Structure 1
Amino acid sequence: MAVAVQPLRPGFYSETCPPAEFIVRDVMRKALIREPRSVASVMRLQFHDCFVNGCDGSVLLDDTPDMLGEKLALSNINSLRSFEVVDEAKEALEAACPGIVSCADIVVLAARDAVALTGGPDWEVRLGRKDCLTASQEDSDNIMPSPRADATSLITLFSQFNLSVKDLIALSGSHSIGEARCFSIMFRLYNQSGSGKPDPAIEPGFREKLDQLCPIGGDENVTGPLDATPTMFDNQYFKDLVAGKGFLNSDQTLFTSPRTRPYVRLFSKDQDKFFKAFVEGMLKMGDLQIEQPVEVRTNCRVANSRSVDVLMES
């Protein structure tokens, strides 16, 4: 069982599993056809995985009798989904190259593919991660931000991982695709900062649309698009923030804060600069690792030792 941090490099599986990257992209392409929102959901798994003890596949682990995993953490339970797409990729990889490709690498590959398949940039990812044996709901609760987060707290969080303000803004552009639940914005529509009033940063016409989508007493599981082009990876997200049409508080705060506003303006005007900064941020985030016991799981939802236990019990 390995413990040391793994060296990462492009083409890591070129000899041990040559079709690995093709297999993951094919699974993502099929997922996009079935449900466009699913690829955005899979992309977000990289953020939630890498920020909690490094990119180690911990976010994929199900709870066990002696471990509370990260899936039910406060920051994850209402936002993470589409784990079955990762399962599908893992099953295909195990059929082609048993025991070779880690779940942690699948998450990073799938995040890249989600962007590329929806019109965003494509890039070479550094691979060679291994999978952790445990997860921590407590660590996730202590680290991951909520939809209520403001720019200052987000800057502080990202700086802990040596990610700059520019990285923060560029990576927030992941919200160029996908949707979020009404649950995540009810407070800013009706009780921002305990005021009993809506967030004044919301553009009035957009506020009316959000009121119709997410009325008081309505179904908080209803979803709305994170920007005006939720199935296309582009810089519309930043244009919406400039116009006061950010869906989440943690998005709109990036324009209302003087520290982050310049990058929002820059990316709203120059999509190429956004794409370049996004790729740089994803690569930096993908390099996050810590020393811990690791393996290559055969099932992304359970550690290999637990898989054996389950088989023996059955």
Structure 2
Amino acid sequence: MASRGYILLQISLLLTVATTAFSLSPYYYKNICPEALPTIKKLVGAAVYKERRMGASLLRLHFHDCFVNGCDASILLDPAPNIDSEKNAAANQNSARGFEVIDQIKAEVDKVCGHPVVSCADILAVAARDSVVALGGPSWKVQLGRRDSTTASRTQANLDLPSPFMDLPALINNFKKQGLNQRDLVALSGGHTIGFAQCFTFRNRIYNATNIDPAFAKERRVTCPPTGENTNLAPLDPTPAFFDTAYFNNLVKQRGLLISDQELFNGGSTDNLVKSYSLYPEAFWKDFAKSMIKMGNIKPLTGNQGQIRVNCRKVNY
């Protein structure tokens, strides 16, 4: 008869296997479909080459996915009788984009793999990394093995996605709810070194803020009048097609476009980090990569949870 100690050891080992069997791994597709990641990289590179702004859009999709019930591709689901699409949430409506690129990637990846084995959630995570790299930014090993949700929540998206009008305490609390700290907040906000924002998101700042460079405010008012033209675009930093530290340099000069941007350098607890990133690009790159991995680990569906969608826009039935 086995000793009590041996039995306890076996139980302990089984519990360890049970808790780690479905953990994410950068090598998840190595044997299942080795061509998956190179295919995603190729298609993201082509999409960004065609339109540099697409890199920011794909990065944002992953961010907006993870902040609503975890990284589960819920943001990709179209409205349906039982799906209250997150695409209609305030932060996404007429704003989130890149869905067609994800559709194209999904179709091509399923083709090279022979059948649907790569989740839409993993495609979002890899496409975000490859977009940053395509725009000259850092790379990192994306943790893989997520599965796709069968639900979406516009209500949760409205509650959990950070607003461009938030002050620093609200931003800190918003990220804390996702298990992210102040360093993650500042590093991930550095994603605003690429892309654009719509006039309605920064109008109040350029006309009413006191913590803004007057010349910068005047420059932005040219294409964002006091009323109307809500969808006119402005770059989030002077080099929106390159992943660099111009975003942080701008904040130090009080030239942040959004209220939520400038709040990171406004006499608060994140000032030193902003200044550090503006001076040391390597520190920003390193922390951005770490925070992206951390964000990508927010409540993933693994194992038998969720499903691998055939069409990223629809639940499999």
TM-score by length of structure 1 reads: 0.91
* 1:50-103 residue CA offsets vs partner (Å, 9 max, x unmatched): 111111000110110232110110121143111111111101111111111000
Contact 1:6/1:129, CA 8 A, preserved across alignment: no
Whether 1:88 aligns to 2:104 is yes
SS, match of residue 117 in structure 2: coil
Amino acid at match of 2:273: Y
Match of 2:284? 274
Instruction: Pick one of 103, 108, 116 that aligns with 2:120.
Output: 103
Deviation at 1:188, TM superposition (A): 2.0
Q: Distance in 2 between matches of 1:239 and 1:19?
A: 39
Whether 1:16 aligns to 2:32 is yes
Contact 2:71/2:298, CA 8 A, preserved across alignment: yes
Structure 1 segments unaligned to the other structure (5+ residues): 191-197, 306-314
Q: Distance in 1 between matches of 2:164 and 2:267?
A: 16
Instruction: Pick one of 43, 60, 72 that aligns with 1:44.
Output: 60
Whether 1:67 aligns to 2:83 is yes
Once superposed, what is the RMSD of the aligned Cα atoms? 1.5
* 1:276-303 residue CA offsets vs partner (Å, 9 max, x unmatched): 0001100101011156940000110001
Whether 1:296 aligns to 2:300 is no
How many pairs were matched up? 295
SS, match of residue 309 in structure 2: coil
- Shifted more, 91-100 versus 130-139: the winner is 91-100
Structure 2 segments unaligned to the other structure (5+ residues): 1-19
SS, match of residue 224 in structure 1: strand
1:107-118 aligned within 5 A: 107-118=124-135
Contact 2:245/2:278, CA 8 A, preserved across alignment: yes
TM-score by length of structure 2 reads: 0.90
Q: Distance in 2 between matches of 1:267 and 1:176?
A: 12
Q: Distance in 1 between matches of 2:276 and 2:162?
A: 24
* 1:194-249 residue CA offsets vs partner (Å, 9 max, x unmatched): xxxx1111101100111101012341111110001100001110000101111111
Seq. identity, %: 42
Q: Distance in 1 between matches of 2:200 and 2:44?
A: 27
Instruction: Pick one of 184, 191, 200 that aligns with 1:167.
Output: 184
Superposed structure 1 runs of 4+ greater than 6 Å apart: none
Q: Distance in 1 between matches of 2:216 and 2:102?
A: 35
Of structures 1 and 2, the larger Rg is shown by: 2
Q: Distance in 2 between matches of 1:250 and 1:38?
A: 22
- Shifted more, 217-226 versus 22-31: the winner is 217-226
Q: Distance in 2 between matches of 1:291 and 1:125?
A: 15
Whether 1:182 aligns to 2:189 is no
Contact 1:99/1:296, CA 8 A, preserved across alignment: yes
Match of 2:296? 286
